[in-house]
Chain A
């Protein structure tokens, strides 16, 4: 019988306590033990970003973190992005720009983009593409995702003029 260990950490601003096995990844802890299924498993080896969460302020692949590694740490998941029922500008812009089709990669992108905007409030298109290269999308071709992220940045940074995107590609 696998040995269950007590784990407590701050999840989306609230303290949680649970028992998990040492071999459980943070992703499994979130999905299978805590029932927060917003973070998704796409590859289970750090190559698609569908499992992204923010750990102590840094976006990470929760499939590559053991649950026990977040003892006493702070974790933010997609479930914690909207506040008091109000959508984050990223979520709103994803909807407006139709930046999702099947939606399975969307939680990962929103969490990663949130971390981007916290690190760089006015990213260029190139900044956004570089930051988000670890998040795979198979449906959209990324065009509308990047537009949504840049548009959200305009909102969260309080500026009115949105950043220019290369209409028609790189020079």
Chain B
């Protein structure tokens, strides 16, 4: 493991790097624009069977029995499995890479045990010779359900009269275990200063309540998994996943296999945003393969993606702030309750960490609750839980700005966090760029241009995400022609294999095009945590830098041998190796390696948690127009300013910002899980789960502010998640200016906006 004593980030400005900051064509690009790239559903294997999952139609029900006989008799059906085909789970706790989970819950979500806990909960799996036969077989499995009353609202679930999902779930209340079961899985608290004293000092106190609906990450590629349980007991899994190693861990744990028996090959992945970290199909495909002796491929359809995977929590947030006449905020108190879905373990604590994180507030009290309800077990969605939190804090700050007679950006500058500011959860910031994003927003032509016209409004909002470090591995081998084959462990969801290759190239003094990057499987590359948490360019990039330095050391040795001097007599700079009058470029030296010791490779595994990951901040500006007769909102103009540390490949950094902002816009205006009173999602298709189309948006301008993060040699900060945090609040603030009414519920769909206009 490489040590994390990092050199301070290079203070190189624009144009002082050869590769960093340029925009090479991504290495996997041609395959992706020609349809050749292989995603999980594209896999073809000899003897393949096709699997499908039977899902509970009830939101809450006891499962009395499952009869699979008729299904087994359908010609073409080769196996049927239920939870009984998994080994018993016991009380183990497992780490998934972005939090821990009870193994019993993990297994229970893959195939239901005693209870179906949400509509869409997997109950059985079938393998057959064609997908159509497998689907038909589902209709022949009879399940005896005893329906139970569902609980579908987070606050109702918290009340003592609510039906219980689990009779063995006891609230972990600030570390103390409750004595009777509840739907409240956990209560955490962050405290700083004394809010009681703080509110006494305030000239005015503001308090608001907010509700957000459950939403889905909406990746265009449905889940897939292919498993082959070989006759020698080795299990191979091909899957579109954000983390091959976490799949390996989850599957090995669920099936109680030694890790060495499981190999996971990550296919190309069609979007994840946090939703493709938990496994769903993999263990089912594995046991079907074990029973049939053949590889089994399983795909979800879009309805299953909505009803049977991990959308992100809906929430109830109550926030209170005390302000002085100057606009200075002296106290903040927040109560956040998030839906865990069927099993405990939502990312609720992330909302707690982010809610007022952009601000320097002396007195803060934050209480957060993880609450189970009869909906799919929730998963992370791009800065999980921070968007709902920011909706509350960023609109309340807008109210304070108006009361104090302050420009919304100025009030944020007045209260803004900087290096040394301490958050309520205890962490003090290193060098951050929040104030710089406010300055850039204020100076931007968008903000300077007045917005004219009736029913038009401009809103701003800021946001924060802490970004993750975690562990990554990279291996690099020098080829005789001076190219470098690089294997890294981070599935590439948005162009990261190229940004990692660029960092390697920068260190070695070669061109980005001379690196051949590959995403490895669990047997071919060292341990690497998930592609998520905005960590890949930072942490896997760091590993690439260290691997490059390892290569460089070895290359120096070879040059020394060639020139018959001691290795410390060889200098290398910008990829040129020198000793006195001797000089060789990387390419030239690569061609001579067999003359001076043989091939060269390098390796690094880093634990990026040890090097001080820098959090990211953003400030967004949106102009919109409301049709007063229909409540429809049209986005006129959108500008997203973000501190990105250092943009390795600016096009893909811009793309992360534009994509995250767009998801936030959809979340703000139209997306929601629409449930009926029986707990059935009525809109589980792309027709009625309304994500933005190209016709719903203008161009999205991005401003990349670069305040280098101290913890990375090039100053990289994670960028992927922050962009989704501000949009709903920015849009809520803009709608207020357009129609004079503040909305406190997401989505702010036309019906709700119309109701606000008509005063209903």
Q: For the complex, what is the distance from the CA of A129 to the CA of B635, rounded to whole Å?
A: 14
Contact between B639 and A95 (Cβ–Cβ < 8 Å)? Answer: no
Q: For the complex, what is the distance from the CA of A53 to the CA of B637, rounded to whole Å?
A: 33
Q: A37-B41, A103-B270 are in contact. Are A44 and B301 (CB under 8 A)?
A: yes
The yes or no answer to A140 lying at the interface (CB within 8 A) is yes
Scoring A residues 59 to 85 as 1 if CB is less than 8 Å from chain B, else 0, what string do you get?
A: 000000000000000000111011000
Q: For the complex, what is the distance from the CA of A134 to the CA of B701, rounded to whole Å?
A: 23
Q: A37-B41, A42-B686, A47-B686 are in contact. Are A138 and B218 (CB under 8 A)?
A: yes
A95, chain B: closest CB distance, angstroms? 4
Q: For the complex, what is the distance from the CA of A21 to the CA of B638, rounded to whole Å?
A: 49
Contact between B697 and A142 (Cβ–Cβ < 8 Å)? Answer: yes
| Nearest chain B residue, comparing its CB with the CB of A90 | B33
B502, chain A: closest CB distance, angstroms? 13
B603, chain A: closest CB distance, angstroms? 28
Contact between A129 and B695 (Cβ–Cβ < 8 Å)? Answer: yes
Q: Which residues of B contact A50 (CB under 8 A)?
A: 220
| Nearest chain A residue, comparing its CB with the CB of B634 | A170
The yes or no answer to A15 lying at the interface (CB within 8 A) is no
B301, chain A: closest CB distance, angstroms? 6
B662, chain A: closest CB distance, angstroms? 3
Q: For the complex, what is the distance from the CA of A31 to the CA of B23, rounded to whole Å?
A: 33
- Which of B506-514, B566-574, B651-659, B730-738 faces chain A? B651-659
The yes or no answer to B698 lying at the interface (CB within 8 A) is yes
The yes or no answer to A101 lying at the interface (CB within 8 A) is yes
CB proximity to B under 8 Å, residues A102-132: 102-107, 110, 125, 128-130, 132
Contact between A106 and B32 (Cβ–Cβ < 8 Å)? Answer: yes
Q: For the complex, what is the distance from the CA of A35 to the CA of B23, rounded to whole Å?
A: 34
Q: For the complex, what is the distance from the CA of A137 to the CA of B270, rounded to whole Å?
A: 10
Q: Which residues of A contact B652 (CB under 8 A)?
A: 98, 101
Q: Which residues of B contact A79 (CB under 8 A)?
A: 34-35
Scoring B residues 18 to 36 as 1 if CB is less than 8 Å from chain A, else 0, what string do you get?
A: 0000010110111011111
Number of interface residues of A (CB under 8 A): 67
Q: For the complex, what is the distance from the CA of A147 to the CA of B658, rounded to whole Å?
A: 13
Q: A78-B34, A104-B271, A167-B701 are in contact. Are A95 and B25 (CB under 8 A)?
A: yes
Q: For the complex, what is the distance from the CA of A142 to the CA of B270, rounded to whole Å?
A: 16
The yes or no answer to A16 lying at the interface (CB within 8 A) is no
User: Which of B32, B132, B302 is in CB contact (< 8 Å) with A44?
Assistant: B302
The yes or no answer to B693 lying at the interface (CB within 8 A) is yes
Q: Which residues of A contact B655 (CB under 8 A)?
A: 98, 101, 139-141, 144
Q: Pick from B41, B219, B495, B655 the residue with the most CB of A within 10 Å.
A: B655
Contact between A169 and B30 (Cβ–Cβ < 8 Å)? Answer: no
CB proximity to B under 8 Å, residues A140-171: 140-147, 165-171
| Nearest chain A residue, comparing its CB with the CB of B649 | A98
Contact between A91 and B33 (Cβ–Cβ < 8 Å)? Answer: yes
The yes or no answer to A17 lying at the interface (CB within 8 A) is no
A84, chain B: closest CB distance, angstroms? 13
Q: A37-B42, A44-B302 are in contact. Are A144 and B658 (CB under 8 A)?
A: yes
CB proximity to A under 8 Å, residues B1-52: 23, 25-26, 28-30, 32-39, 41-42, 44
Contact between B268 and A96 (Cβ–Cβ < 8 Å)? Answer: no
Q: Which residues of A contact B198 (CB under 8 A)?
A: none
The yes or no answer to B699 lying at the interface (CB within 8 A) is yes
Q: A77-B35, A101-B655 are in contact. Are A145 and B699 (CB under 8 A)?
A: no
Q: For the complex, what is the distance from the CA of A58 to the CA of B687, rounded to whole Å?
A: 22
Contact between A41 and B222 (Cβ–Cβ < 8 Å)? Answer: yes
The yes or no answer to B367 lying at the interface (CB within 8 A) is no
Q: Which residues of B contact A1 (CB under 8 A)?
A: 75
User: Which of B32, B35, B269, B270 is in CB contact (< 8 Å) with A37?
Assistant: B35
Q: Pick from A2, A136, A166, A168 the residue with the most CB of B within 10 Å.
A: A168
Q: A91-B33, A98-B23 are in contact. Are A133 and B638 (CB under 8 A)?
A: no
A37, chain B: closest CB distance, angstroms? 4
Contact between B686 and A95 (Cβ–Cβ < 8 Å)? Answer: no
B75, chain A: closest CB distance, angstroms? 7
User: Which of B23, B36, B659 is in CB contact (< 8 Å) with A139?
Assistant: B659
User: Which of B33, B36, B37, B695 is in CB contact (< 8 Å) with A95?
Assistant: B33
Contact between A42 and B222 (Cβ–Cβ < 8 Å)? Answer: yes
Q: Which residues of A contact B612 (CB under 8 A)?
A: none
| Nearest chain B residue, comparing its CB with the CB of A24 | B132
Scoring A residues 33 to 50 as 1 if CB is less than 8 Å from chain B, else 0, what string do you get?
A: 001111111111101101
Contact between B685 and A47 (Cβ–Cβ < 8 Å)? Answer: yes
Q: Which residues of B contact A106 (CB under 8 A)?
A: 32-33
Q: For the complex, what is the distance from the CA of A2 to the CA of B658, rounded to whole Å?
A: 47
Contact between A45 and B691 (Cβ–Cβ < 8 Å)? Answer: no
Q: Which residues of B contact A143 (CB under 8 A)?
A: 658, 697, 699-700
Contact between B220 and A48 (Cβ–Cβ < 8 Å)? Answer: yes
A74, chain B: closest CB distance, angstroms? 18
Q: Which residues of B contact A98 (CB under 8 A)?
A: 23, 26, 495, 649, 651-652, 654-655
User: Which of A23, A36, A101, A129 is in CB contact (< 8 Å) with B495?
Assistant: A101
Q: Which residues of B contact A39 (CB under 8 A)?
A: 35
Contact between A87 and B699 (Cβ–Cβ < 8 Å)? Answer: no
The yes or no answer to B758 lying at the interface (CB within 8 A) is no
The yes or no answer to B661 lying at the interface (CB within 8 A) is yes
Q: Which residues of A contact B222 (CB under 8 A)?
A: 41-42
Q: Pick from A45, A104, A134 the residue with the most CB of B within 10 Å.
A: A104
| Nearest chain B residue, comparing its CB with the CB of A93 | B33
Contact between A42 and B302 (Cβ–Cβ < 8 Å)? Answer: yes
| Nearest chain A residue, comparing its CB with the CB of B272 | A102
Q: Which residues of A contact B302 (CB under 8 A)?
A: 42-45
Q: For the complex, what is the distance from the CA of A77 to the CA of B35, rounded to whole Å?
A: 9
Q: For the complex, what is the distance from the CA of A135 to the CA of B692, rounded to whole Å?
A: 10
Q: For the complex, what is the distance from the CA of A143 to the CA of B699, rounded to whole Å?
A: 5
Q: A169-B623, A169-B636 are in contact. Are A102 and B494 (CB under 8 A)?
A: yes
A164, chain B: closest CB distance, angstroms? 11
Q: Which residues of B contact A146 (CB under 8 A)?
A: 694, 699
A71, chain B: closest CB distance, angstroms? 21
Q: Which residues of B contact A95 (CB under 8 A)?
A: 25-26, 29-30, 33
The yes or no answer to B627 lying at the interface (CB within 8 A) is no
A48, chain B: closest CB distance, angstroms? 5
Q: For the complex, what is the distance from the CA of A166 to the CA of B33, rounded to whole Å?
A: 26
User: Which of A23, A45, A101 is in CB contact (< 8 Å) with B685?
Assistant: A45
Q: Which residues of A contact B699 (CB under 8 A)?
A: 125, 143, 146-147, 165-169
Scoring B residues 259 to 285 as 1 if CB is less than 8 Å from chain A, else 0, what string do you get?
A: 000000000111111000000000000
Q: For the complex, what is the distance from the CA of A129 to the CA of B272, rounded to whole Å?
A: 25
Contact between A141 and B270 (Cβ–Cβ < 8 Å)? Answer: no
Q: A41-B222, A103-B270, A146-B699 are in contact. Are A168 and B26 (CB under 8 A)?
A: no
Contact between A170 and B637 (Cβ–Cβ < 8 Å)? Answer: yes
Q: Which residues of B contact A48 (CB under 8 A)?
A: 220, 686
Contact between B494 and A136 (Cβ–Cβ < 8 Å)? Answer: no
The yes or no answer to B437 lying at the interface (CB within 8 A) is no
Q: A35-B44, A133-B694, A146-B694 are in contact. Are A40 and B39 (CB under 8 A)?
A: yes
Q: Which residues of A contact B696 (CB under 8 A)?
A: 133
- 25 intermolecular pairs with C-beta atoms under 8 Å apart: A2-B132, A37-B39, A39-B35, A45-B686, A77-B35, A78-B35, A79-B34, A91-B34, A95-B25, A96-B25, A101-B493, A102-B272, A110-B33, A128-B694, A129-B697, A132-B693, A138-B219, A138-B220, A139-B494, A141-B659, A141-B662, A143-B697, A168-B698, A168-B699, A170-B698
Interface residues of A, Cβ cutoff 8 Å to B: 1-2, 21, 23, 31, 35-45, 47-48, 50, 77-79, 81-82, 87, 91, 94-98, 100-107, 110, 125, 128-130, 132-147, 165-171
Interface residues of B, Cβ cutoff 8 Å to A: 23, 25-26, 28-30, 32-39, 41-42, 44, 75, 132, 217-222, 268-273, 299, 301-302, 445-446, 493-495, 623, 634-639, 649, 651-652, 654-656, 658-659, 661-663, 685-687, 691-701
16 further contact pairs, Cβ within 8 A, besides A87-B33, A103-B32: A43-B685, A87-B30, A87-B34, A95-B33, A98-B654, A100-B33, A102-B219, A103-B270, A104-B39, A133-B694, A136-B693, A140-B658, A142-B692, A142-B694, A168-B637, A169-B635
